[in-house]
């Protein structure tokens, strides 16, 4: 690859990094492991890297126009774009969960279902989703609240699981309690 091509790539990469930073700033990301601020600051590092590469590889009169663009500001690592929207979506999701008859049914019967059956139904995982969102809202855990975007799927899973539990015989439910007591 020729030197001119490498220099053009640095300019194009720099443009892409600026665009990505702006997108994160306005819309936020979907990274389940890191807040938007961490990713935005990482992008700032990429911008600095490409600017350094441009300085090292060409004379100032040949710098691409994007090189002269001011660097985006660093942000708090815990920054989340659209934080209020994330909070209100999480609170709305939590309210829908709380009002869901299937979820309430499952919560009331959980301790009467044999652990083997709970595992087969993925019941504890379903209940964890609700309980974790409840805790995230209480603790203002933006990272977890942002992940909870599949309310309709969760409600469908609650309905499916509740339907299966309703097929259990009363004897199955009683045996589960007797077995766990001993």
Separation CA 78–CA 100 (nearest Å) = 32
Joined tokens for residue 57: 């590889």
User: What does the alpha-carbon distance between residue 137 and residue 57 come to, in Å, rounded to a whole number?
Assistant: 50
112 is a domain residue: yes
Q: Are residues 128 and 104 in the same domain?
A: yes
131 and 94 within one domain: yes
Determine contact, residues 112/173, Cβ cutoff 8 Å: yes
Judge whether residue 11 has pLDDT over 50: yes
Which residue, among 102, 89, 101, 98, has the nearest Cα to 150 in the 3D structure?
Answer: 89
Does a structural domain hold residue 63?
yes
- 170 and 90, same domain (yes or no): yes
The number of folded domains in the chain is 2
Co-location of 47 and 105 in the same domain: no
Please tell me the predicted confidence (pLDDT) of residue 4.
59
Helix axes 3-27, 36-57, angle to 10 degrees: 160
Mark which of 40, 68, 96 sits at the end of a domain.
Answer: 68
On whether the CB atoms of residues 114 and 55 are closer than 8 A, the answer is no
Asked whether residue 163 falls in the same domain as residue 119, the answer is yes
On the question of pLDDT at 5 being above 90, the answer is no
Per the domain annotation, does 152 fall within a domain?
yes
| pLDDT attached to residue 63 | 94
User: Looking at per-residue confidence, does 178 or 66 come out higher?
Assistant: 66
Whether residue 1 has pLDDT greater than 50 = no
Determine the Cα angle at 137 with ends 79 and 139, to 5°.
70
Average pLDDT in the chain: 91
In a domain, 130, yes or no: yes
- Residue 75 is assigned to a structural domain of this protein: no
**What is the extent of the structural domain holding 63?**
3-68
Structural domain includes residue 55: yes
Asked if residue 174 and residue 91 are part of one domain, the reply reads yes
- Render the burial of 3-21: b for 16+ CB within 10 Å, e for the rest: eeeebeebbebbbebbebb
Q: Are residues 55 and 91 in the same domain?
A: no
pTM to 2 decimal places:
0.79
Rounded Cα gap, residues 70 and 141, in angstroms: 32
Do residues 135 and 90 lie in contact, with contact meaning Cβ atoms separated by under 8 Å?
A: no
Work out the average pLDDT over 112-122.
91
pLDDT confidence bin for 8, thresholds 50/70/90: low
Residues 60 and 89 both lie in one domain: no
Q: Are 28 and 36 in contact (CB under 8 A)?
A: yes
Statement to judge: residues 89 and 144 lie in one domain: yes
Query: pLDDT (tens digit, 9 = 90+) per residue, 122-171?
Result: 999 999 999 999 999 999 999 999 988 889 999 999 999 999 999 998 77
Burial class (CB in 10 A: 0-12, 13-18, 19+), 87: middle
- The answer on 125 and 176 residing in a single domain is yes
Mean pLDDT, to the nearest integer, of 68-93?
96
Q: Is residue 74 part of a domain?
A: no
Separation CA 45–CA 40 (nearest Å): 9
Q: Are residues 54 and 130 in the same domain?
A: no
Same domain for 63 and 90, yes or no, is no
Residue ending a domain, choose from 15, 38, 68: 68
């Amino acid at each position: 690859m020729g030197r001119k091509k490498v220099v053009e790539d640095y300019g194009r990469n720099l443009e892409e990094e600026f665009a990505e930073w702006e997108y994160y700033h306005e819309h936020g990301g979907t990274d389940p492991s890191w807040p938007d601020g961490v990713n935005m600051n990482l992008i700032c590092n990429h911008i600095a890297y490409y600017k350094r590469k441009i300085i090292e590889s060409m004379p100032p009169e040949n710098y691409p126009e994007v090189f002269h663009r001011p660097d985006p500001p660093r942000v708090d690592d815990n920054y989340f774009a659209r934080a209020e929207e994330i909070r209100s979506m999480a609170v709305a999701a939590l309210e829908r969960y709380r009002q869901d008859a299937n979820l309430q049914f499952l919560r009331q019967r959980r301790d009467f279902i044999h652990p083997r059956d709970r595992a087969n139904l993925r019941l504890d995982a379903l209940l964890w989703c609700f309980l974790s969102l409840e805790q995230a809202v209480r603790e203002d855990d933006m990272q977890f609240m942002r992940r909870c975007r599949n309310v309709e799927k969760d409600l469908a899973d609650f309905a499916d699981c509740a339907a299966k539990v309703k097929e259990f015989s009363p004897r199955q439910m009683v045996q589960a309690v007797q077995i766990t007591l001993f």
